[in-house]
């Protein structure tokens, strides 16, 4: 064997070693379905029980979304992560916040909010999904209120409270974060709470929730199993699952990562929401447009995360940014389609020929575009020269 052939053989061996070392994430990204056309979903959390100004904001959003249509004539879709309860401030204050009292979305005070949601659902622009009975664990907030005057004042406020005003760690529903690091809730408590909130959701929307998104993206296996019992088929994730709040109050104890269409232990479909668009925090239109283009190259749907606070606290900026982002998305991806998370999950698992790619070359191209996100892989592939054949394989430069 010539020296050149030996060097070449060693080089191939090196590439093989690199591919073997990253076999698990590489294979997972090959198994992940590749979508045939650009898909966009605006995911919007925290709507429901809370400030009454939501009614007008929801009506305005509904009108805005109905005015933006894809090439099939379908209006833009925004999910509403729904919260079904806030504290009943007047009753709480009357007892000096010694007892917890709930004000639910079914209360007559929220008639306008419910009507605005229903209006958008019937127009095909709102897709409700379960965010939680409350955006907190009541016992944890009650315990925190003993030590924290601001939390006590929040519980006893005269107007329906905005959960965004709670300290971040207390906004997690599925842990007891009264003190940090958080403590795990009992299985019984979680099961009872999920069953109750699924019933409350059904009472307002007429059907059980099929899609769930945990508040602050902190949840665990027990929550998923309880959601399964309640009828939830699809779980919105940021691609990883945090199960606690650490000593600094941040989401932590990550015990799982997930790609789109992977299944939970109890069989639900995971979707990944990982483009962030909060105009009130200075996120601008390119966030959506760039995110859409990148996910389209990766053969993925673009799920954009936003929150109601944008539309309540910086309405002019946020409505304008959303409308511009939707129009620009259509301009850069003329084949763009709007879709709900439930429809997306069903299309992925039905291998719907209209939606899911089966041809080898486009699948290779999408796979190649997904590899840069694997930690350290891009650097090692560049150093070893493996990037070159991968680029050729994907037909990209
Ligand atoms: Zn939320």
pLDDT in tens, 97-146: 899 999 999 999 999 999 999 999 999 999 999 999 999 999 999 999 99
Tens digit of pLDDT for each residue in 319-353? 999 999 999 999 999 999 999 999 999 999 888 78
CA 251 to ligand 1 centroid distance, Å: 13
CA 363 to ligand 1 centroid distance, Å: 35
Q: What is the pLDDT of residue 397?
A: 41
Tens digit of pLDDT for each residue in 283-327? 989 999 999 999 999 999 999 999 999 999 999 999 999 999 999
Report the run of H or E that residue 363 belongs to, with start and end. helix 360-370
- Grade residue 244 by pLDDT with cuts at 50, 70 and 90: very high
Mean pLDDT calculated for residue range 39-50 = 98
CA 273 to ligand 1 centroid distance, Å: 13
Q: What is the pLDDT of residue 394?
A: 64
Share of the chain above pLDDT 90, in %: 86
- Flag whether pLDDT at 186 surpasses 90: yes
Mean pLDDT calculated for residue range 165-172 = 97
CA 355 to ligand 1 centroid distance, Å: 30
Count of CB atoms within 10 A of residue 59's CB? 16
Asked if 224 and 265 count as a contact pair (C-beta separation under 8 A), the reply is yes
Separation of CA 397 from chain center: 32
Pairwise CA distance, residues 348 & 334, whole Å: 22
Q: Whole-model pTM?
A: 0.95
- Grade residue 8 by pLDDT with cuts at 50, 70 and 90: confident
Q: Any idea what the Cα angle at residue 302 is, between residues 300 and 304, rounded to 5°?
A: 155
Residue ranges of the chain that CATH labels 3.20.20.370:
32-356
For residues 320 and 379, the model is more confident at 320
Question: What's the token pair of residue 68?
Answer: 């933006």
CA 163 to ligand 1 centroid distance, Å: 8
Asked if 177 and 110 count as a contact pair (C-beta separation under 8 A), the reply is no
Pairwise CA distance, residues 94 & 90, whole Å: 6
- Grade residue 12 by pLDDT with cuts at 50, 70 and 90: confident
How far lies 62's CA from each of 58, 319, 323, in Å?
A: 6, 11, 12
Mean pLDDT calculated for residue range 10-32 = 91
CA 91 to ligand 1 centroid distance, Å: 25
CA 35 to ligand 1 centroid distance, Å: 28
CA 75 to ligand 1 centroid distance, Å: 24
CA 349 to ligand 1 centroid distance, Å: 27
How far lies 335's CA from each of 38, 262, 296, in Å?
A: 7, 26, 11
- Grade residue 1 by pLDDT with cuts at 50, 70 and 90: low
CA 271 to ligand 1 centroid distance, Å: 17
Q: What is the pLDDT of residue 180?
A: 97
CA 217 to ligand 1 centroid distance, Å: 8
E strands of the chain, at which residues? 39-48, 78-83, 85-87, 102-104, 126-132, 211-212, 234-237, 240-241, 244-245, 251-252, 256-257, 269-272, 275-276, 302-307, 337-338
Determine the topology of domain 32-356 in CATH: TIM Barrel (3.20.20)
Of 210, 184, 189, nearest to 82 (Cα)? 210
- Flag whether pLDDT at 165 surpasses 50: yes
Q: Which residues pair with 356 in a beta bridge?
A: 35
């Amino acid at each position: 064997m010539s020296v050149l052939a030996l060097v070449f053989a060693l080089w191939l061996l090196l590439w093989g070693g690199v591919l073997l070392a990253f076999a698990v994430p590489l294979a997972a990204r090959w198994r992940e379905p590749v979508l045939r056309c650009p898909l966009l979903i605006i995911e919007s959390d925290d709507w429901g029980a809370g400030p009454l100004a939501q009614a007008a904001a929801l009506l305005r959003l509904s009108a805005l979304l109905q005015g933006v249509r894809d090439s099939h004539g379908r209006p833009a879709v925004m999910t509403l992560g729904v919260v079904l309860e806030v504290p009943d401030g007047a009753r709480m204050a009357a007892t000096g916040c010694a007892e917890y009292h709930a004000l639910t979305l079914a209360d007559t005070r929220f008639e306008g909010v419910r009507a605005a949601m229903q209006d958008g659902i019937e127009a095909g622009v709102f897709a409700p999904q379960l965010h939680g009975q409350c955006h907190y664990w009541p016992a944890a907030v009650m315990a925190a209120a003993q030590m924290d005057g601001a939390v006590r004042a929040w519980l006893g406020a005269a107007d329906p409270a905005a959960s965004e005003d709670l300290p971040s760690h207390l906004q997690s529903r599925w842990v007891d974060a009264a003190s940090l690091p958080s403590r795990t809730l009992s299985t019984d408590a979680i099961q009872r709470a999920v069953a109750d909130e699924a019933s409350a959701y059904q009472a307002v929307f007429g059907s059980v929730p099929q899609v769930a998104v945990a508040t602050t993206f902190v949840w665990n296996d027990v929550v998923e199993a309880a959601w399964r019992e309640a009828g939830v088929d699809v779980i919105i994730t940021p691609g990883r699952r945090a199960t606690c709040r650490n000593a600094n109050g941040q989401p932590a104890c990550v015990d799982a990562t997930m790609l789109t269409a992977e299944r939970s232990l109890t069989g639900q479909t995971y979707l990944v929401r990982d483009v962030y668009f909060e105009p009130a925090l200075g996120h601008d239109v390119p966030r959506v447009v760039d995110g859409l283009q990148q996910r389209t190259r990766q053969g993925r749907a673009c799920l954009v995360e936003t929150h109601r606070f944008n539309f309540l606290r910086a309405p002019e900026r946020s409505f304008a940014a959303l409308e511009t982002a939707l129009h620009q998305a259509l301009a850069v991806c003329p084949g763009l389609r709007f879709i709900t998370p439930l429809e997306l999950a069903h299309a992925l698992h039905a291998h719907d020929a209209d939606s899911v790619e089966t041809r080898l070359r486009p699948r290779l191209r999408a796979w190649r575009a997904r590899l840069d996100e694997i930690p350290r892989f891009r650097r090692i592939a560049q150093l070893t020269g493996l990037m070159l054949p991968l680029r050729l394989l994907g037909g990209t430069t």
